[in-house]
Structure 1
Amino acid sequence: MVADNSRIPLWPLPLLLTLLFVVAAHTAYLLSIEGGHVPACIPYLDGCVSISRAARHGWGNHLFRLLVIPCAVLHALVWLLAARWLRGGTAMLALGVLSAAALAVYATFLGTEGETYRFLRRYGVVVYFGFGYLAQLALMRRASLSKALPPRLIVAMSWISIAMLMLGVANVAAGQLATDPATKDRWENIVEWWLGLLMVGWYAVLAMGWRRQGLGVELKSRDPM
């Protein structure tokens, strides 16, 4: 017989994912400023440094790796749980897990030198954002069709996705139109910071949805008698 039931809520997982990434990126930047590796500015407005450069040197690099690699594990776990929650979505799950793996690759090789490592870092960034974005769209579609989330949360997620798409389009346009390399770099840096914030902010909205739905894992212990 079941002697004790305890339920573990799932909503803290996507919320923790968001917090880990935000703390990792911003704390690494502050440590890099203190170490004299990067200039000080408001990167969301000035674009003086990219997330990658902000976390590439010294203690900032160590801290970033320490926090972002577990963050990548949480990414994968959230997508596994999302597929079970929505009872399907093979493509969504594959995209989400590949995005998580790309984030782990990016964090692992950040700060290393060499053409191969540079390719892996670039691959990690592109696949993380690209596949992660597609996985988010797939989840919103399935959650909307199955009414698994309240409409206003779907709307909030959709606005975040639209903002990410607009930033991506603007970044491509700026790359084609900007003639000054420094201006192009600043704009790309600004876009990277905002895209990173919006990408993980989407998971915070998902956490709100899971909390409202009361999703959890039930642990059962059985009486040996």
Structure 2
Amino acid sequence: MLSHTDARPGAGVALAWLAWGAALLPFLTTHISFLLAAGFEQVPWCVPYWDSCTSISATGRGQPAKYVFKLGMIPAALLTGTLWWALQRWCRQLGVATGRAMPVVGGVAALSLVLYTLALGEVGDGFRLLRRIGVVLAFAFTFIAQVMFTRCVRELARRDGDARWHRFYGWMMRLLGLLLVVGVVSVVLDALLADDYDAMEDAFEWWMALLLNAYFVLVALLVQRARVYLDVVSAGGPR
């Protein structure tokens, strides 16, 4: 079971651990893989957020970065899938009916990330198609699940009138808005510039991944301050 409680920390497993894992493991995996790939001269040394010099996928194609990428991203996908299930249960226990499809949407995102990761580094048109499908679905469905959880936080803010709920809701909305702007700008530039867009596409990919991870940092801070635990039943609001 899962709850929001002020009980002693030993009363259950803090959901914050799961949320921090979902926030940090993908970030660390992609950046460690980049350092390994650059060290083995498989990608150039650069700042990919600015130089758009390599894609995230390219950091996980060669050995040994390929194995680090897979060993990091597959558990990260499973963590995020579990997190969406736990967050939906928490919202429901707090009396918020929105986001019932959150575990399904988050599960699709997690499975898509696993599909992408397994296909990464493999040769053939079929694997290339699987990678493209996997990464598009992972990005899209993760964003949708984040919108769903943000609606839950909004409902709690409206119902309880607690400034702390409102503060987290505001941060989440700003981050989602920035994600949406980056995504729309990416699509528009792709349509307008055609082949010239290739020179900047990778940077957009890195920034979108960073922003998606940043949202999970907000989730981790929220459940940590709210003292949400697994296997404990109680009720309350963020502190």
TM-score, with structure 2 as normaliser: 0.85
Q: AA paired with 2:88?
A: A
- Identify the residue that residue 131 of structure 2 maps to in structure 1: 121
Q: AA paired with 1:58?
A: Q
Over 4 Å off, 4+ runs:
none
1:42 partnered with 2:42: no
1:26-85 Cα shifts (integer Å, max 9, x gaps):
111111111111111110001010101122111111100001100001011101101110
**Structure 2: how far apart are the matches of 1:186 and 1:93?**
36
- Identify the residue that residue 162 of structure 1 maps to in structure 2: 177
**Structure 2: how far apart are the matches of 1:59 and 1:159?**
37
The unaligned stretches of length 5 or more in structure 1 are: 220-225
CA contact (8 A) 1:109 1:120 kept: yes
**Structure 1: how far apart are the matches of 2:151 and 2:183?**
21
- Identify the residue that residue 103 of structure 2 maps to in structure 1: 93
Q: CA deviation at 1:185?
A: 1.6
Q: CA deviation at 1:21?
A: 0.6
**Structure 1: how far apart are the matches of 2:197 and 2:61?**
21
**Structure 1: how far apart are the matches of 2:87 and 2:58?**
32
Q: AA paired with 1:176?
A: A
Q: AA paired with 2:34?
A: Y
Q: AA paired with 2:90?
A: W
SS in 2 for 1:38: coil
SS in 1 for 2:48: coil
Q: CA deviation at 1:186?
A: 2.6
1:6 partnered with 2:14: no
TM-score, with structure 1 as normaliser: 0.90
- Identify the residue that residue 206 of structure 2 maps to in structure 1: 193
CA contact (8 A) 1:49 1:186 kept: no
- Identify the residue that residue 175 of structure 1 maps to in structure 2: 190
**Identity across the alignment (%):** 31
- Identify the residue that residue 143 of structure 1 maps to in structure 2: 153
SS in 2 for 1:216: strand
Q: AA paired with 1:47?
A: S
CA contact (8 A) 2:36 2:64 kept: yes
